[in-house]
Chain A
Amino acid sequence: NAGVTQTPKFQVLKTGQSMTLQCAQDMNHEYMSWYRQDPGMGLRLIHYSVGAGITDQGEVPNGYNVSRSTTEDFPLRLLSAAPSQTSVYFCASSTLRGDRISGANVLTFGAGSRLTVL
């Protein structure tokens, strides 16, 4: 059971380049999401999905695309990278059902991907 796996861990891009951050989970979680973390700004939701074929926008979706073709995978695409997208990106997943201990879902994070856009 690997949990939430993100690749790559580090990436440097030039302005205008495109790339995909990969996220996979093996916990059969219905809910998957992408956050970006910037100093002093906390974690901001980019996109999320409540199941295969269903995606929706979060707080800061501009410049990013997502798709959810399987329960396990939720890739984040940057179509034309900009310096403002320099950040640490976290993928996170959870069930939609209540946790049997707390009664609520627990968001499980991946290890993060550090992206620098020059």
Chain B
Amino acid sequence: GENVEQHPSTLSVQEGDSAVIKCTYSDSASNYFPWYKQELGKRPQLIIDIRSNVGEKKDQRIAVTLNKTAKHFSLHITETQPEDSAVYFCAATPFQGAQKLVFGQGTRLTINP
């Protein structure tokens, strides 16, 4: 089955700097790669996703890149703000949508003022 590895486990950046979180996956059949944000004590919520027929997707300050050949994808957050502090999870699945999503271990991002 699918296995998703996520790095780093913790990340601390200065407010205004950029943050990058990286994930690798094992199943070459995977074609849907969402990213979820979980604030302290809250439920995970989708922030951005990308499908295998797209190499990059951007939504304001966040972007995701996908390299299918290398089987890795990354989350980029620019101009970080205190409200970006949270745990971020990447995920992958060979299904068209959210079925059987396999999650990475999570990255705790801290934005220092």
A-side interface residues toward B, CB under 8 Å?
31, 33, 35, 40-45, 48, 50, 58-59, 90, 92, 94-99, 102-107, 109-112
B96, B97, B100, B105: which has the most chain A beta carbons within 10 Å?
A: B97
Q: A110-B43, A111-B43, A112-B43 are in contact. Are A41 and B105 (CB under 8 A)?
A: yes
Report the minimum CB–CB distance from A22 to chain B (whole Å).
16
B-side interface residues toward A, CB under 8 Å?
1, 4, 6, 9, 32, 34, 36, 42-46, 49, 51, 89, 91, 96-106
Q: Are B32 and A42 in contact (CB under 8 A)?
A: no
Majority SS of interface residues in chain A?
loop
Which residues of the other chain, B, contact A99 by a CB distance below 8 angstroms? 97
Q: Are B99 and A50 in contact (CB under 8 A)?
A: yes
Q: Are B103 and A43 in contact (CB under 8 A)?
A: yes
Q: Are A107 and B106 in contact (CB under 8 A)?
A: no
Q: Are B105 and A40 in contact (CB under 8 A)?
A: yes
Report the minimum CB–CB distance from A44 to chain B (whole Å).
7
Which residues of the other chain, B, contact A94 by a CB distance below 8 angstroms? 97-99
Q: Are A95 and B89 in contact (CB under 8 A)?
A: no
Report the minimum CB–CB distance from B27 to chain A (whole Å).
13
Bound complex: CA A103 to CA B6 (Å): 25
- Nearest A residue to B53 via CB reads A103
Q: A90-B43, A107-B34, A111-B43 are in contact. Are A59 and B102 (CB under 8 A)?
A: yes
Which residues of the other chain, B, contact A97 by a CB distance below 8 angstroms? 97
Bound complex: CA A59 to CA B3 (Å): 10
Please list 27 pairs of residues, one from A and one from B, whose beta carbons are closer than 8 Å in the complex, sorted by A's number: A31-B97, A31-B98, A33-B100, A35-B103, A40-B9, A42-B89, A42-B104, A42-B105, A45-B101, A45-B102, A59-B102, A90-B43, A90-B44, A92-B98, A96-B99, A97-B97, A98-B96, A102-B49, A104-B32, A104-B34, A105-B97, A105-B98, A107-B36, A107-B46, A107-B101, A109-B44, A112-B43
- Nearest A residue to B9 via CB reads A40
Bound complex: CA A48 to CA B102 (Å): 12
Report the minimum CB–CB distance from A62 to chain B (whole Å).
15
Which residues of the other chain, B, contact A90 by a CB distance below 8 angstroms? 43-44
- Nearest B residue to A109 via CB reads B43
